[in-house]
Amino acid sequence: MQFYDITADELRKMQTRKKEKEYLLVDVRQPQAYRQAHLPGAVPIPLQELPDRTDELPLDRDIVFYCRSGLSSRAAAVSIANKPEFQGKIMNLTGGILGWQGVLLPEVPRLHLFPPTDTQAESLLQAMSLERGAALVYGAMQKQFSGEDWAKPLHDLAAEEVAHARLLYRAMQQDQANVPDFDALYAQLPDDLIEGGFSRENIDTELARSGGNPCQTVFELAMAIEYAAYDLYRSLAQRFRQAAVAEVFLTIAQAEKAHLQRAAEALQACEATTTP
């Protein structure tokens, strides 16, 4: 089996076209480099650890390796492509992270909110809490700007975050006995943190700085929240890859990708109306 080089543009198109359960993005740089910035949705497996961690790679999904420049990740791609048990397409991102002209994410909030010692039940509950925080933020922003036509997408975003919380709740019911009623549990969850580790205070501060263009600020914030959420759920799916809940996390990651597109379209509309 051979590996294939893929450019940054080709990777973006692939991510748009493929479902989240169809591929895995692997960062083979050192952990500190990954923590500083990584491609959304990527999981860290340093190159020197790859021979001992191949069991973390899916045998039936496409895998894209990347590093700083595309050289180390090519070695990773060659190594895995030579293993006949891998049935998916094995790819190397040419140019690495240096050639990626897009959003990069830090890992710090995810490390803080979802430490490796968390159980599946704890992760589901924490994720539900983040979904509640995001729903409340979108709802508050919609209320604040209710007289503006551009604020209409915020209603749908808020409703879909609640739907995600319900999906996580159903996974929780399958994982443990005597789970409280959804409404009772949801109402008592903390709401001060949002997907990706943002706080309500962060959001309020950014809105206060929006000046004369709150539309642009709102949807830039929405994109930041949704990018972080997408990254988070891809990571959780990989962490619990041997459990049924991985499918739930990938389903939500797929939805977060759709949210990103909606926020991007709304942002473009904002910018079009303010361009002289």
Neighbours of 138 (CB within 10 A): 28
Q: Which amino acid is at 259?
A: H
Catalytic residue among 57, 67, 154, 203: 67
CB 38 within 8 A of CB 67: no
Q: Which amino acid is at 131?
A: E
Handedness of CA 173, 178, 179, 182 (dihedral sign): positive
- Spatial CB neighbours of 42, under 8 Å, sequence gap ≥ 6: 25, 26, 27, 34, 66, 231, 234
> Residue 270 catalytic?
no
Q: Which of 115, 85, 117, 97 is nearest to 28 (CA)?
A: 97
CB 171 within 8 A of CB 86: no
Alpha-carbon distance of 130 to 137, in angstroms, equals 11
Alpha-carbon distance of 207 to 131, in angstroms, equals 20
Q: Which amino acid is at 110?
A: R
Q: Which of 62, 59, 31 is nearest to 47 (CA)?
A: 31
Alpha-carbon distance of 25 to 253, in angstroms, equals 14
What does the block give as tokens for 111? 């490390």
Q: Which of 48, 80, 52, 83 is nearest to 64 (CA)?
A: 80
Catalogue the active-site residues. 67
